[in-house]
Amino acid sequence: MNDCKGNILIVDDEKGLRLGTKRLLEEEGYIVTAAENGTEGLQYGTTIDFDVAVIDLKMPDIDGMEVLKEIKRTHPDTVCFIATAFASYDTAIQATRIGAFGYIPKPFSPEELIYQIELGIKQRKLILDAHRLEQEREKNLLELANEKSRLNAIIKSINEGVIVINTNGDLAYYNYSAIKLLGLSSLQIGENVLSILPEQINEIVTKIFRSDKIMLKSFSTELSLNRENEIFLEAACTPIPNPDGSLAGVVIILSNITEYKRIEIIKNQFVSMVAHELKTPIAAVQGFLNIIKDETLNLPVDKKKEYLNRSTQRLKSLTDLVNDLLDISRLELKTKQKEIIDVNLCDIVNSTLQMLELEIAKRELTIDKNSEDNLPFIKADINEITRVVTNLLSNAIKYNKRNGKIFIDLNSSQNYVILKVKDTGIGMKDSERQKLFSEFYRAKNENTRGISGTGLGLSIVKRIVDSYYGIIEVDSEYGVGTTFTIKLPINPN
């Protein structure tokens, strides 16, 4: 009923007037309910929320004032008029006090009635609008409160520390992470925190405060705090502007960068070790050449020849080292796409043994190889697996005793293919075994003298095995021998 102009209640015991009014208003487009006495008026008025009610003051059963009172009590938004022939100033005031919007003196002309009803409808609209606006405002306030508490919950739960201070250096906001990262026991909103904050942060904040014009950028600093363990923090201090452009305060974001620092240290150590390992063979070659060139030494020809051979050997090791470094770099960067195919580990062991035949013969070693029948294939990159096998077998040759043995065993469990390489070599002490897979670690003792290696081989082996979610184990007894076991998943997925 969108085209309906309003819902009207007429309460009047005078039949002619009641029906005339009803007809008139209906013609005007209103829906009209007519009550013929106070009782009926009360019944309608208290059950239906009318837009406008016109109530006759004098009725035989219940007084119009009573009807008005009850309607206003049950439906305060219904706009009520009192209509009466006994107009008096007092009744008007009384009616208004009870809640009447207006007073229509009888008799009234149709125009006058319509005019009053239209006023009433307008009033009704205003009342409803006001209600709606109020509800909306309340809803918005609720949303705002929710938003605020949500934002608060987010800031409180992030790992980064957040501290906001005003231009006096008083604490305006903080989260728990800030307390934790700074190692403080507590913070108080409103307390002056500049002196509590680490010196470096204090300096930046003071610089921001002292600056003539507000700088809309962050100022970062790294600081280390020594507690039980040293932790490194990055503090980013950003000015907060007021709407007028003046400085409101500073927000400080604290991040824990300890892990990055640790990685940086490891990286620097690695680079230093690489540089050292590259420089040493160069120095050795240069030293030999200097001696060969030095005529004052009167070096015999065969000595010179020997030194040239040894130089060549050192350069070969240097090349191996560079290749190993490149391999490590490739494995680390994972730039090289693995070409995954079905790989028969037994075939790889056989071809590697063939390749190393000369070295095996030179050291007069015996190979004892056992393989399970129908060993399952593994899904892997054949070059990488060959690299692993070559490394383990050449170690078993290099570190073996003359006339020693190499036991090779290939078998499978439910998910893995297992390769065991056992030698009868010099073995390792526990302390040596622990460092076995670290870069550039080579056991150095009288037994390893003259055995060349880059110190990267097993580190590469481990990286490859790890990349297939495989397992590498080592068992060794000093002076007796070493056993390497690698377990490679049949299907790494």
Is 399 one of the binding residues for another protein (CB under 8 A)? no
Cα separation, 223 vs 261, whole angstroms: 11
- Closest by Cα among 196, 192, 198 to 235: 198
Among 445, 451, 473, 477, binds another protein (CB under 8 A): 445
Task: Measure CA of the first residue to CA of the last residue in the chain; give whole Å.
Answer: 68
Minimum CB distance to another protein smaller for 275 or for 326: 275
**Contact between 308 and another protein (CB under 8 A)?**
no
User: Min. distance of Cβ 310 from another protein in angstroms?
Assistant: 6
Least distance between another protein and beta carbon 443 (Å): 9
Binding mask 102-121 for another protein (x = CB under 8 A): --------------------
Cβ proximity to another protein: between 107 and 450 the closer is: 450
207 close to 247: Cβ distance less than 8 angstroms: no
Instruction: Please name which of 75, 94, 72, 92 lies closest in space to residue 83, comparing C-alpha atoms.
Output: 92
Candidate list 81, 101, 103, 288; residue touching another protein; CB under 8 A:
288
Near another protein by CB under 8 A: residue from 145, 283, 451, 480: 283
CB-nearer residue toward another protein: 33 or 280: 280
Q: Which C-beta is closer to another protein: that of 244 or that of 446?
A: 446
Q: Are 55 and 41 in contact (CB under 8 A)?
A: yes
Q: Does 300 bind another protein (CB under 8 A)?
A: no
- Nearest-angstrom CA–CA distance, 217 and 100: 63
- Which part of the chain contacts another protein (CB under 8 A), choosing from 150-158, 235-243, 289-297, 466-474? 289-297
Shortest reach from residue 453's CB to another protein, in Å: 13
Stretch near another protein under the rule CB under 8 A, chosen from 25-33, 255-263, 287-295, 410-418: 287-295
Peptide bond into 107 cis (omega under 30): yes
Q: Does residue 449 belong to the site contacting another protein (CB under 8 A)?
A: yes
> 230: exposed, middle or buried (C-beta count within 10 Å: 0-12, 13-18, 19+)?
exposed
Among residues 263, 266, 297, 326, which is the contact residue for another protein, using CB under 8 A? Answer: 297
Three-state secondary-structure class, residue 94:
helix
Residue ranges in 19-78 that form contacts with another protein under rule CB under 8 A? none
314 binds another protein (CB under 8 A): yes
* Residue 305 touching another protein (CB under 8 A): no
Residue 259 beta carbon to another protein: minimum distance, rounded to whole angstroms: 21
**Contact indicator for 92, 122 with CB cutoff of 8 Å:** no
Q: How many CB atoms lie within 10 A of CB 354?
A: 9
272 binds another protein (CB under 8 A): yes
Site size toward another protein (CB under 8 A) is: 25
- Minimum separation from the CB atom of position 307 to another protein (A): 8
Q: Is 170 exposed, middle or buried (0-12, 13-18, 19+ CB in 10 A)?
A: middle
Residue 310 interacts with another protein (CB under 8 A): yes or no: yes
For residue 123, CA distances in Å to 52, 106, 135, 472 come to 9, 22, 18, 87
| 189 makes contact with another protein (CB under 8 A) | no
* Alpha carbons 390 and 398: distance in angstroms, whole number: 12
Q: How far is CA 94 from CA 57, 264, 384, 388, 460, in A?
A: 12, 87, 102, 105, 101
Interacting residues with another protein (CB under 8 A): 268, 271-272, 275-276, 279-280, 282-284, 286-288, 290-291, 296-297, 299, 310, 314, 444-446, 449-450
